[in-house]
Amino acid sequence: MTTIKVERFTEDHLKDFVKLSEIEYGPSISTNENHVRWKHLLSPFGSSHIVKLIEGDLVVGRALVQHRPMLKGYEIINVASVMDMLIDREHRTSPANFIKITKATGNIDGVVLIFHTANEKTLPLYSRLLRFHHPFSLRAYGFPVKISGLLFKLIGFRINAIDWLIKPFHWLLIGIASLINLSSGLSISDKTFSDDELDAITLKSINQDAPHLLRTNSFLKWRFYDTEMWKADLKRIDVNGKFSGYIVTRKMELGELTYYVLMDFILDPNLKIVDNFSLRFWLLTQAIKNGADALFTLVNPLSIPARKFVGFPFLPIPDTLLPHATPIFMRPCNDRFRCFELDSSMHMTLADLDYF
């Protein structure tokens, strides 16, 4: 007979977390105590809650509920993301334990909305068994910088010599990017920005954009600099000397390929088309200069910020080329927030997930 216990995640929970992960995954990111500590104890929005599935004195399953404030108009509401769910093999044959844990994640004091991501295994459980709504899915966009990398993805082996043939094309793209930048007042730098500057961009967006998870300097520092394993590079964007947002990128290896990944962005909604175009080509040139096989990002294409920003050279990537699709399931904890079950407009990026 299994029971459920919900409590704040503390240092005392690390041992059980790592033990369960080791049995399932072996040495991995989920067994790195420093990473788990950073992820679930050190967030500027408070430590996560842990939902434990217990049999006797043993933790045989778990899910972590990570807290995030979200802006909906001028209101800040408390939402949370469910992650790191794991049930040991002996207790996952029946969906009953999965249902127990999932239902318990929706009973956290102060949290009014829960969102879940899904993989190929949990998708039918969320959609058919629990009948959660998923108003949108995150979609992948990218550009094949190296033809050898694209061939490897499609047929399983590389022909490196072919990349020499497209070197002139890379030089052409870099030249085009320089020309576009000359017609734009865009400037990208390592300069810092204040929370007041970030708030000013957010206030501009409130009347034009749909809900988005709160961004602050403390969040960006925690998410992209304090981590040992998911470090990224944050750039300030100015247009004609005026703060106009930021982008976060990361160079990473996945499988046999190297990606230059757009992790996050917040941009002034009044940016001109030429400024958005210049920024996208700047990202492409950085992917080329960093020797990446591809430029890549994952966003909600139905959100206004994504619709304004994602365009050539970002091309849609079919889900069949990804490890799995990324539907987002919305689960309101009270009737006031039932509207989110059908709201497809939330701005969401890789910064809001725990993929990398």
Domain map (residue ranges) of the chain: 3-111, 139-323
- Count of Cβ atoms closer than 10 Å to residue 202 Cβ: 17
Local structure of residue 217 (DSSP, 8 states): H
Residue 172 has what pLDDT? 79
Local structure of residue 48 (DSSP, 8 states): P
Give the C-alpha distances (Å, rounded to integers) separating 207 from 10, 73, 201, 203, 215.
Answer: 39, 7, 11, 8, 17
pTM of the predicted protein model: 0.92
In this prediction, residues 316-328 reach a mean pLDDT of 88
* 17: phi then psi, degrees, rounded to nearest 5: -60, -50
* pLDDT over threshold 90, residue 102: yes
CA 81 – CA 101 distance, rounded (Å) = 14
In this prediction, residues 132-151 reach a mean pLDDT of 86
* pLDDT over threshold 60, residue 208: no
**Residue 142: helix, strand or coil by DSSP?**
strand
CATH class of segment(s) 139-323: alpha beta
pLDDT tens digit sequence for 49-73? 999 999 988 999 999 999 999 988 8
Which residue matches tokens 């139905």?
302
* Chain CA centroid to CA 318, Å: 18
Closest to 62 (Cα-Cα) out of 53, 74, 71, 73: 53
pLDDT tens digit sequence for 210-227? 788 999 999 999 999 999
Closest to 347 (Cα-Cα) out of 145, 204, 206: 206
- The fold for domain 3-111 equals Aminopeptidase (3.40.630)
Q: Is 47 left (phi over 0), alpha (psi -120 to 50) or beta?
A: beta
Q: Does 139-323 match 3-111 at the fold level?
A: yes
Q: What angle do CA 49, 53, 57 make, to 5 degrees?
A: 110
CA 356 – CA 261 distance, rounded (Å) = 10
